[in-house]
Amino acid sequence: MKRRHNFWREKMKKKGKREGKGDRNKNKNKEENKKGKAMLKARAKMFLGEKENEKLNKNVNQTERMKETRNENRNKNETKTRIRKVIKIGGSCLTDSASIKKALSLISREPERIAIVVSALKGITDLLQHAYHLALGQSGDFKGVVASLEQRHQNLALELVHPAIVSQLQLKFQSIFASLYISLQKIFLNREALPGDKAWILSQGERLSAHLLAAALESAGIKTRVYETDRIGLIASEVSGKIKVNLEKFDLNFAPRAEEILAAAHLPIFTGFFGSDEKGEVILFGRNSSDYSAAVIARAFKADYLELYKDVPGIFSADPFLVPEARLIPCLSREEASLFGFYGARIIHPDFWRPLEGLKTEVHIKSFSSLENSGTIIAPAASDEIRNRGHKTAPKNHGFIKGLILKDGLTVLKIETKKYSDLSKLIKLEKILAERDGKIIAFIPLINNFILILTDISAESLALIADSLRENQLETFSIEKNLALIAAVGSGINQKSALSSRILRVLAYKKITPRFFLTFTENPVILIIVQSGEALRALRQLHTELITSRFSGKQDIPDDHLFVS
């Protein structure tokens, strides 16, 4: 019995062990099931989270894309609205219907909004001036001049303007010529002209060409509007004998007009050459001053580019009429170009750069007859030169001289001072000279004397200067005439100390002795003053040795010809 009992007890114990093991397995399975369910729930949650995140990211991406699209559209609209380029077309380019059609093609090809500044048609200003002098001189022939001017413009209107628009333009022309005839008739009858008469008469050429160009563009489907520059707040006045725009006043006056233009869809066409005084009377900026007008308009729109179309390919290393070997300069800095203008290169108006101060406007001078050529680019700062197609161009390594400018007809005024205190009187004298009809090229104070180098001074002005010197008790002075200036300009001139000696060596080789030789620490220019009779020979020799020789690899002049002063 005992053995049996033990048997069943062992059996039950084994069974219990198996059951306990099974319970443990069950519990383990339950735990694993719980973990599995938790993992499934976590995965499901993750999946749903990823979906939600994807949805959220998708919404964010869509929002960002919408913002980007709005920004792109805004930028496109700003690009379309903003006037980034101003184009000036000179009167020498506009001669007949073919040249005006060429201008229309040039304008219509522009991909972005532009503004146009236009001069009078070639020869019109001269004819208007002729008519004015005829009327003032009591000659009735002014009527024939006015009639021929009207006929020329009416014929161009019939050739260039669509029949549906031409009648409006003809009425405009009739109004302008009727006013012009009345003004000249008054001068003829009264035998005198009022102060503003001449300026108003000469300004009609730009008004006529602007309205003609606008109507021709309208015929081509381009909406335009003419802005006559004596009616847009372009206030100017005479300062030291020169007409200058009051830029601060213009900025304020033109700001509402600029907003109006930018908000509209038309192409603005501005007249060059003139503005108005404080009273609203027409005031002229001087002959060939439409470049200056264009610079003022470029300032108004803060334009990135200003293109000047002329009858020349660009700026050359010397006057091509004087130096046949002269090369087209592909690129100049603004400082270099302003020196070219100051010392006598007439391709740009002397005051051209003042309206562009503080702006990064890049100026392009281009040939109207060869639109495919890039001309001369004038960058705000010095930059590497570029090659230009179709013309001989100055190479990158042509030394530090970009060009040579010849200015004849100089006068040197040498004043010996008795006391150092006399210098204050001489500084006053400089102001007096600035108001005369000439220009001071250099003002050189020395230990015992003072030297003024003058240009464009008439005999009458020299007499007045001499009287001023005597009044200021500066009796010891001398005047030397029949001199010429050669200015060597280049951004690297101050960095090359041997350049001065080389120039002197070139001149000595041709047995030319400079009267004065001036270098400057701040300006990249060297001034050589020689006798007028030797000026052309000196210019050509310097160009050959300093610029042309860089193309041929010609050997330099030997050192034994160095000139020693």
How does residue 412 score in pLDDT terms, banded at 50, 70 and 90?
Answer: confident
Report long-range pairs for 237-243 (Cβ below 8 Å, ≥24 apart): 237/277, 237/278, 237/283, 240/434, 240/435, 241/435, 241/436, 241/437, 242/286, 242/351, 243/283, 243/284, 243/285, 243/286
Residue showing tokens 């000249």 = 184
User: What is the pLDDT at residue 399?
Assistant: 47
SS3 128: helix
Averaged pLDDT, 71-92: 73
Q: What percent of the chain has pLDDT over 70?
A: 71
- Taking only the tens place, the pLDDT of each residue in 348-361 is 877 899 999 999 99
Q: How confident is the model at residue 473 (pLDDT cuts 50, 70, 90)?
A: low
The predicted pLDDT at position 38 comes to: 65
Distance in angstroms (rounded) separating the CA atoms of residues 157 and 270: 19
Token representation of residue 231: 């009616």
Give the tens place of pLDDT for each residue, 332-381: 999 999 999 888 888 887 789 999 999 999 999 999 988 888 899 999 87
Q: Which of 3-12, 214-223, 275-284 has the lowest mean pLDDT?
A: 3-12
Check: pTM over 0.75? Answer yes or no. Answer: yes
- CA 154/CA 148 separation, integer angstroms: 10
CB atoms under 10 Å from CB of 443, counted, come to: 14
Give yes or no for a contact between 117 and 146, defined as CB atoms under 8 angstroms apart. Answer: no
Cβ-Cβ contacts under 8 Å for 392 (sequence gap 6 or more)? 327, 328, 551
Averaged pLDDT, 235-244: 82
pLDDT of the residue at 480? 86
* Lowest mean per-residue pLDDT among 225-229, 321-325, 549-553: 549-553
33-37, 136-140, 437-441: which range is least confident on average? 33-37
Element (H, E) at 411: strand 403-416
pLDDT of amino acid 452: 77
Say which amino acid occupies 349: H
d(CA 299, CA 355): 6
Q: What is the average per-residue pLDDT within 480-502?
A: 85
User: CB–CB of 306/361 below 8 Å?
Assistant: yes
pLDDT at 26: 56
Please list the alpha-helical segments (H only) found in 290-401. 290-301, 334-342
Per-residue confidence (pLDDT) for residue 77, from 0 to 100: 46
Q: Give the pLDDT confidence score for residue 236 in this predicted structure.
A: 94
Closest alpha carbon to 206 in 154, 272, 161: 272
pLDDT score of 266: 95
User: What does the pLDDT read at residue 19?
Assistant: 53
Is the predicted pLDDT of residue 27 greater than 90, yes or no? Answer: no
Q: Average pLDDT, whole number, for the chain?
A: 82
Q: Which of 343, 337, 318, 340 is nearest to 328 (CA)?
A: 318
Q: Which stretches does DSSP call E strand in 18-125? A: 85-89, 114-118
Question: CA dist 66 to 79, 395, 535, Å?
Answer: 19, 50, 69
Residue 426: which pLDDT band, with cuts at 50, 70 and 90?
low
Structure tokens at 312: 């020349």
State pLDDT tens for residues 293-308: 999 999 999 999 999 9
The predicted-structure confidence for 44-68, as pLDDT tens digits, reads as follows: 555 555 555 565 555 556 656 655 6
Specify the DSSP class assigned to residue 221: T
* Predicted confidence band of residue 275 (pLDDT cuts 50, 70, 90): very high
* Cα angle value 233/234/236 (rounded, 5°): 125
Residue with tokens 């995140």: 53
Cβ neighbours for 197, distance < 8 A, ≥ 6 positions apart: 132, 183, 186, 187
More confident residue, 74 or 537: 537
Q: Does residue 427 contact residue 420 with C-beta atoms inside 8 Å?
A: no
For residue 310 the two structure tokens come to: 């002329």
